Amino acid sequence: MKHSTPPTLPPHLTAYLASLPVASGAWTVRLRSPGRINLIGEHVDYTGGLVMPAAIDKAIYFVARPLSTPEWRLHAIDLCEQHTLSLPIEGPSPELWVNYLAGIGVQYQDQGQFLPGLEVVFGGNLPSGSGVSSSAALEGGMAFLLNELLNTKLSRPELAQLCQRSSNTFLGIPSGIMDQFASLNGLATGPIVLNCHTLEFEPVKNALTDYTLLLINSMVSHDLSDGAYAERVAECQRALAAIQQRTPETTHLSAATLEELEAVSGQLDEVAYRRAHYVIEENERVRSAVTALEAGSSHKLGRLLNATHAGLRDEYEVSCEELDFLQRAATALDGVAGARMMGGGFGGCTLNLVREDRLADVLQTVTDAYRATYAIDCECYPVRLAAGTSLI
């Protein structure tokens, strides 16, 4: 895993600022809010499970200045869109990107904070809809910015909780905490392992020397994602409720054992059983992956990634044809220790563990095969880890 160099504002954002009728010294806050990868521990954060994410060098950059008027003037430069929001924020707006920011403001309002007038310009190099969590970067960046301006002194884990509340309540997305937590708390030195039940986390020592991570973007995003995500959350809740009938002390699904699940299989529908089976095994895989990474075993880590993909495809059913193709194409090649779909699913990226000296060949071969089959040019991003959200 490579590490990135210290951040500066991207040139297109600097150029945009120069085009505004505002003196450059007036911008009082500049920050970088990164995307994330997740090595392993997929679809377990909302069951209180273990995950192993990291923040990456692709990010959304925010620049802000105070306004004397009660409004937020927002510029989404990569979308070429602007929106002005009156303060206090009353409710959702028709634009999703506005709601990611407004939802954070509402959380601060709910804590009794008086929101200041602001002009906020943001943009960067984080692909959206690709499973690297541009939405969490948007939320985390805004939360960090308000924490600075209001001097609220929330810790990074508290900011991640605030962002998750905003997703759950303002946007109505029942997501877990992994994405926002990783974006805010990531380390440049390696991934973290996060317990999503207690929010305790620690760095994982990365002893892999000659292997690197490669993201391959399928460039597809199937519409299923939102409803299917909420269904998975509900199915896991169903499985937990059945287990709790027998063992009430099991507080969350990720704490259950396969034996406990087996014991209630007669009371559980087949779909919820399969989802829970995946979740319980995935938690074990995260523990094994920590050991594999710290021991520098690409072979073991690769096998775990492949097993996660199989579970997400067959038991959890959140993969799609294109992701399965990319995973198969990569793992058939010499120098690829393992690969899997990453993130919520139904499109986005695969994460590939590739020997450094094979990177260029793997990238070319998989890209060619994908184009020949789907007539789509996929994008590839060698992963460089970076620190979590930071002021510039």
Binding site for ligand GLA (CB under 6 A): 42-43, 45-46, 133, 175-176, 178-179, 343-344
Which are the contacts of 182, defined by CB distance < 8 A and separation ≥ 6? 36, 38, 51, 53, 54, 55, 133, 136, 192, 194, 388
In three state form, how does the secondary structure of the chain look?
Answer: CEECCCCCCCHHHHHHHHHCCCCHHHCCEEEEEEEEEECCCCCCHHHCCEECEEEEEEEEEEEEEEECCCEEEEEECCCCEEEEEECCCCCCCCCHHHHHHHHHHHHHHHCCCCCCEEEEEEEECCCCCCCCCHHHHHHHHHHHHHHHHHCCCCCHHHHHHHHHHHHHHHCCCCCCCHHHHHHHHCECCECEEEECCCCCEEECCCCCCCEEEEEEEEEEECCCHHHHHHHHHHHHHHHHHHHHHHCCCCCCHHHCCHHHHHHCHHHCCHHHHHHHHHHHHHHHHHHHHHHHHHHCCHHHHHHHHHHHHHHHHHCCCCCCHHHHHHHHHHHCCCCEEEEEECCCCCEEEEEEEEEHHHHHHHHHHHHHHHHHHHCCCCEEEECEECCCCEEC
- For ligand GLA, give the closer residue by CB, 133 or 161: 133
55 vs 121, beta carbon nearer ligand GLA: 55
CA distance 156 to 60: 17
- Minimum CB distance to ligand GLA smaller for 108 or for 181: 181
* Least distance CB 116 / ligand GLA (angstroms): 29
- The catalytically annotated residue of 57, 110, 179, 210 is 179
Q: CB-wise, 45 or 317, nearer to ligand GLA?
A: 45
- In the complex, minimum distance from the CB of residue 81 to ligand GLA, in angstroms, rounded to a whole number: 23
The CB-of-234 to ligand GLA minimum distance in angstroms stands at 14
Q: How far is the CB of 51 from ligand GLA (least distance, A)?
A: 7
Q: How far is the CB of 341 from ligand GLA (least distance, A)?
A: 10
Nearer CB in complex with ligand GLA: 200/368: 200
Minimum CB distance to ligand GLA smaller for 119 or for 179? 179
Rounded to a whole number of angstroms, the minimum distance from the CB of residue 164 to ligand GLA is: 8
Contact 388, 65 (CB under 8 A): no
* Beta carbon of residue 336, minimum distance to ligand GLA (angstroms, whole number): 22
Q: Which CB, 302 or 348, lies closer to ligand GLA? A: 348
User: For this structure, is 78 an active site residue?
Assistant: no
Angle between helices 270-295 and 298-314 (to 10 degrees): 170
Catalytic positions, please? 179
